[in-house]
Amino acid sequence: MNRRTFLKRSFGSLITLIGLSGGTYFYAKDIEPNLLKVTEEPIHFPNIPAAFHNFRIIQFSDTHIGFHYDLDQFKELAIKINQLQPDLILFSGDLVDKPNQFYWDDRIVEILRSMNAEYGKYWIYGNHDHGGYGTEIVKDIMEAGEFSLLQNESVPISKDGSYFTLAGIDDVMLGKPDLNKALQNQQENDFTILLSHEPDFADITKNYPVQVQLSGHSHGGQVRFPFIGDLYTPPYAEKYVQGKYDLHPNFNLYVNSGIGTTRLPYRFLCKPELHMYELKSE
């Protein structure tokens, strides 16, 4: 940790202790975590096929069910996702907070299955999915919920005789990510979207023929302050924390702030977020 980062976090932690012990505590714990925002992002690239003009993709991430986020809230999220009428639904990892302590039952499967998208539902592992001996059970639950896993692999999303490539890698922290393997079936000039739980992986992705990376993991920092920004983000989400990053003329990174919380049950100036992307053919 460099001196600037140390001072930022020390000063921010002091503000947090003062602020969250006062009037903002109730807001950060009980109000903002429930203020879901929908971030609309048009995606423009010349190799997006005309058949996918206005194609709607919903990304949600980091639900961390079980840590101050329950199945009733998850059901409301599913209803909201369906109201947005997605063509494609993507989940970028961390379904429950502690898989080895979570009470798994059919209800979570029913909620996952209730999400509707004509062109499919896909997901990737996050670090909490692999952690707590969750690798196999989370995979089984997501499969039962009709979500298809992308673990160092890709699929064509086809419409009206055209397609684009959707790829996903294994979790960077606790998995075995292999981008070369994930893109092995990619054809030249394919429009390609990559799912990577950890956003900082974008520094590798930008050297590959990928136009868009969608990530989560950072929670946007969860607690943010004016002029300071985020106080803490986990490894591999320290450089790219929230929002859109233009890292190359032909490569964009989008970092979703997540739905749930972890470690601390607070959100401050960092609302839970759904991303709604619309592809724009040029």
Which CATH number does the domain housing residue 109 bear?
3.60.21.10
**What pLDDT, on a 0 to 100 scale, did the predictor assign at position 235?**
96
**What pLDDT, on a 0 to 100 scale, did the predictor assign at position 24?**
74
Are residues 22 and 44 part of one domain? no
Averaged in consecutive runs of 10 residues, what is the pLDDT profile of the chain (282 residues)? Answer: 51 51 73 95 98 98 97 98 98 97 95 98 98 95 98 98 98 98 96 98 98 98 86 93 95 98 92 98 87
- List the domain range (segments joined by +) for residue 65: 37-281
Are residues 48 and 22 part of one domain? no
Report, in angstroms and rounded to the nearest whole number, the Rg of the chain calculated over CA atoms.
18
Are residues 124 and 30 part of one domain? no
**What pLDDT, on a 0 to 100 scale, did the predictor assign at position 37?**
97
Are residues 170 and 120 part of one domain? yes
**What pLDDT, on a 0 to 100 scale, did the predictor assign at position 282?**
80
Are residues 72 and 14 part of one domain? no
Dihedral in degrees, nearest 10, Cα atoms 14, 20, 24, 29? 140
Domain tally for the chain?
2
Pairing of strands 88-91, 121-123: parallel
Are residues 87 and 17 part of one domain? no
Beta strands in 65-211 (DSSP E): 88-91, 121-123, 148-149, 153-159, 162-168, 192-195
**What pLDDT, on a 0 to 100 scale, did the predictor assign at position 227?**
77
Of 137, 74, 1, the C-alpha closest to 274 is 74
Chain-centroid distance of CA 277 in Å reads 13
Are residues 82 and 56 part of one domain? yes
Distance, CA of 249 to CA of 99 (rounded, Å): 40
Are residues 30 and 44 part of one domain? no
**What pLDDT, on a 0 to 100 scale, did the predictor assign at position 127?**
98
Are residues 62 and 15 part of one domain? no
Are residues 16 and 49 part of one domain? no
Are residues 158 and 27 part of one domain? no
Task: Establish how many alpha carbons lie within 13 A of residue 55's alpha carbon, considering only the half-sphere containing its beta carbon.
Answer: 24
Are residues 75 and 200 part of one domain? yes
**What pLDDT, on a 0 to 100 scale, did the predictor assign at position 13?**
54
